[in-house]
Amino acid sequence: MNSRAQDELRPFSVQRHFTRTSPGSVLVKAGNTMILCTASVDENVPPWMQNDDDPRGWITAEYNMLPGSTSPRKKRDRLKVDGRTTEIQRLIGRSLRAVADMRALGSRQITVDCDVLQADGGTRTASITGAFVALVDAIDSVRQDLPNPDKYPLRDNVAAVSAGIIDDLAWLDLDYDLDVAAQVDMNIVMTGSGQFIEVQGTGEESTFTRQQLDQLLDLAQTGISQLTALQRDALGAAWPFQTS
């Protein structure tokens, strides 16, 4: 079914500064999945925050699959965003905010757009992993304008990966072929320090045991440790955290 080992990530890469018009711009590839993550800074907060007596910022995300990202062609979301798109972009936003200090960000909003150029499974998890790198670059673009430049607005990094049960075996990082065959499909979001942010697990006309759940979480933790290292390598001197 697959040429890689069950506990092996697909080839994963992060290319920063992919476009010139956004302070954070990252092309992320996970196997044949390709996503452009761009982070833009708005010096205004959303209307519902503007009368807040405790000034703080906001981080949000938008997600979209471009028409040519799948075959057959996916229709554009024009007047109404579909439920899957809404759910994924909320997940990305929650994941980024989980590691953020909004007061340290100041009264501004950062929007991360994740546009899927090519889909082969794992688009939401790759989006989160790439979005974090784009967010770091966007924050660096306003670093001297933060309320306290010495207080960094992110407490930890965040990355995500999928895992699943196929033919009663636990697999890491599901591509499309693995995903459609999965008895259990799971998406796991974690910090680099090993804290869980979100776990989404579903049996596909099947059930799973506590032992299988633990297997999937262990696989995901191993994969996210590797993704954290790839984020750190991509950011280089811009990596904002101390390394042990």
Give the DSSP per-residue string, 177-197.
Answer: HHHHH-SEEEEEEEETTS-EE
CB 147 within 8 A of CB 103: yes
**Domain ranges in the chain?**
12-235
Rounded to an integer, what is the distance from CA 6 to the centroid of its chain?
22
CATH value of 12-235 in 3.30.230.70, 3.30.360.10, 3.40.50.11540, 1.10.3720.10: 3.30.230.70
pLDDT value at position 242?
Answer: 84
Going residue by residue through the chain (244 aa), what tens digit of pLDDT does each one get?
568 999 999 999 999 999 999 999 999 999 999 999 999 999 988 888 877 777 899 999 999 998 888 888 888 776 667 898 999 999 999 999 999 999 999 999 999 999 999 999 999 999 999 999 999 999 999 999 999 988 999 999 999 999 999 999 999 999 999 999 999 999 999 999 999 999 999 998 899 999 999 999 999 999 999 999 999 999 999 999 987 5
> Residue 176: which H helix or E strand, with range?
helix 176-181
pLDDT digits (tens, 9 = 90+) for 84-96: 899 999 999 999 9
Report how far apart, in Å, the C-alpha atoms of 131 and of each of 55, 95, 109, 165, 170 are.
24, 10, 15, 27, 27
Closest CA to 168 of 182, 185, 179: 182
